[in-house]
């Protein structure tokens, strides 16, 4: 089901309805948009949410069609990462063409820390729900949201209307830069597919970054500079694999940029590289030892696929996982700066997210509060 964008004024009315629901019926808001409970509710006028498709009626109750994340006065609609109404037996899977969910330690960090300046022309590449572009739109002169997934482009357009910034935003369908061709930007920002996976075909296109997590990143590094204006900047969220010294993505970026006048700043979101051995313990438990959920995947991995991946990682000396924000900014000379925080900013380090559906109410509220804190700056 797609959200209804035919009446922009109606979509914008949803913002006040959601604000009222969150302020005066918080438990109901959480039940609908985080725990997917069917709710009977009298009093507030929910007709805008019904007419746009955010909600639907199930007999005498209301059910959410999409998750709606509240953050910094904005509301962002996405698909539920896992849904109690979308599973096979006892096993939960992600959607192959779904819209990337908002997880508390990923997209919100980049959106709140975006290197956008007043008057910029911005490309939000691999935009998903459009959250990053929507945050940039407050300062930017013009923002283009581009994604390979038509459903994501539609959601981004809806979310721009919902938050009243569609007047300076544009939405295009494209694989990497194919949707913008020869256009150039002051800032290219993205949270694209950078998850290391055993086999791409079993994972949604929005997450699978190949066996080392940098398959898409290398393409981005090669092509992005041709789409930058003079003094243009690159900013992205990266979670590639590497050895104990650096991720493969940063190593590739340095090699491709060493003869350019740019300053590369790599800001880790963890105090130190993350051991893959501990990551694999969690991964194996969720993939092979339970029937509850399959992390990120659209279908189960086989033991043979898992073993082939492990052999690949050993052969290439990939022993650690990295989570970081990467910035590439024009400079008088080439330089690289790596920064590690005193405390973990990303506290979930082993890819075993307690996704929203399985969190407690107090945990959801704590994570929503944490998402707001990124606007105050990251700890050095």
CB atoms within 10 A of CB 341: 15
pLDDT of residue 198: 85
CA angle, 328 then 296 then 76, to 5°: 65
pLDDT of residue 68: 98
**HEC-encoded secondary structure of the chain:** CCCCCCCHHHHHHHHHHHHHHHHHCHHHHHHHHCCCCCECCCCCCCHHHHHHCCEEEECCEEEECCEEEEECCEEEEECCCCECCEEECCEECCCCCCCCCCCCCCHHHHHHCCCCCCCCEEEEECCCCCHHHHHHCCCCCEEEEEECCHHHHHHHHHHHHHCCCHHHEEEEECCCCCCCCCCCEEEEEECCCCECCCCHHHCCCCCECCCCCCHHHHHHHHHHHHHEEEEEEEEEEECCEECCCCEHHHHHHHHHHCCCCEEEEEEECCCCCEEHHHHHHHHHHHHHCCCCECCCCCCCCCHHHHHHHHHHHHHCCCCEECCEEEEEEECCCCEEEEECCCCCCCCCCCCCCCCHHHCCHHHHHHHHHHHHHHHHCCCC
Q: Where are the domains of the chain?
A: 8-92, 107-376
Q: For residues 179 and 162, what is the distance between their CA atoms, to the nearest angstrom?
A: 24
Range 107-376 has CATH code 3.40.50.970? no
* Contact yes or no for 248/212 (Cβ under 8 A): yes
Give the Å distances, CA to CA, from 7 to 16, 52, 158, 172, 242: 16, 9, 10, 20, 48
pLDDT of residue 379: 38
Q: Which residues, listed in sequence order, are joined to residue 68 by a DSSP beta bridge?
A: 77
Q: For residues 286 and 344, what is the distance between their CA atoms, to the nearest angstrom?
A: 24
pLDDT along the chain (380 residues), means of 10: 93 97 95 96 90 96 97 96 83 83 92 96 97 97 96 97 97 94 95 87 82 94 96 95 96 97 97 86 59 64 86 94 96 97 86 78 94 70
Q: For residues 263 and 324, what is the distance between their CA atoms, to the nearest angstrom?
A: 16
Residue 319 tokens read as 């022993």
pLDDT of residue 293: 55
pLDDT of residue 89: 76
The tokens 């939000």 sit on which residue? 124
């Amino acid at each position: 089901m797609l959200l209804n964008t035919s009446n922009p004024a109606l979509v914008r009315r949803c913002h006040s309805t959601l604000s009222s629901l969150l302020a005066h019926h918080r438990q109901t808001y959480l039940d609908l948009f985080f725990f997917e409970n069917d709710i009977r509710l009298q009093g507030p006028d929910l007709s805008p949410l019904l007419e746009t498709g955010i909600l639907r009626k199930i007999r005498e109750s209301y059910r959410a069609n999409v998750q709606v994340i509240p953050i910094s006065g904005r509301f962002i609609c996405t698909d539920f990462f896992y849904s109690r109404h979308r599973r096979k037996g006892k096993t939960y899977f992600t959607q192959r063409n779904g819209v990337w969910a908002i997880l508390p330690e990923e997209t919100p960090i980049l959106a709140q820390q975006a290197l956008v300046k007043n008057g910029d022309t911005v490309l939000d590449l691999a935009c998903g729900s459009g959250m990053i572009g929507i945050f940039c739109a407050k300062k930017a002169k013009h923002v283009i949201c581009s994604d390979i997934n038509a459903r994501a482009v539609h959601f981004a357009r809806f979310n721009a209307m919902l938050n009243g910034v569609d007047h300076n935003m544009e939405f295009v369908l494209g694989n990497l830069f194919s949707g913008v061709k020869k256009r150039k930007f002051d800032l290219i920002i993205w949270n694209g597919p950078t998850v290391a996976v055993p086999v791409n075909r079993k994972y949604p296109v929005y997450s699978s970054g190949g066996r080392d997590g940098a398959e898409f990143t290398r393409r981005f590094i090669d092509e992005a500079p041709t789409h930058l204006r003079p003094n243009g900047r690159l900013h992205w969220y990266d979670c590639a694999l590497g050895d104990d010294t650096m991720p493969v993505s940063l190593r590739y970026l340095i090699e491709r940029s060493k003869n350019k006048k740019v300053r590369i700043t790599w800001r880790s979101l963890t105090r130190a590289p993350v051991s893959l051995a501990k990551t694999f313990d969690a991964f194996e438990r969720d993939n092979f030892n339970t029937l509850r959920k399959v992390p990120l995947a659209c279908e189960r991995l086989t033991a043979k696929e898992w073993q082939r991946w492990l052999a690949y990682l050993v052969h290439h000396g990939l022993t650690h996982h990295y989570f970081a924000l990467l910035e590439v900014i024009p400079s008088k000379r080439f330089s690289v700066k790596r920064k590690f925080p005193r405390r973990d900013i990303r506290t979930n380090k082993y890819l075993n997210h307690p996704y929203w559906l399985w969190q407690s109410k107090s945990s959801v509220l704590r994570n929503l509060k944490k998402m707001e804190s990124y606007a105050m700056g990251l700890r050095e």
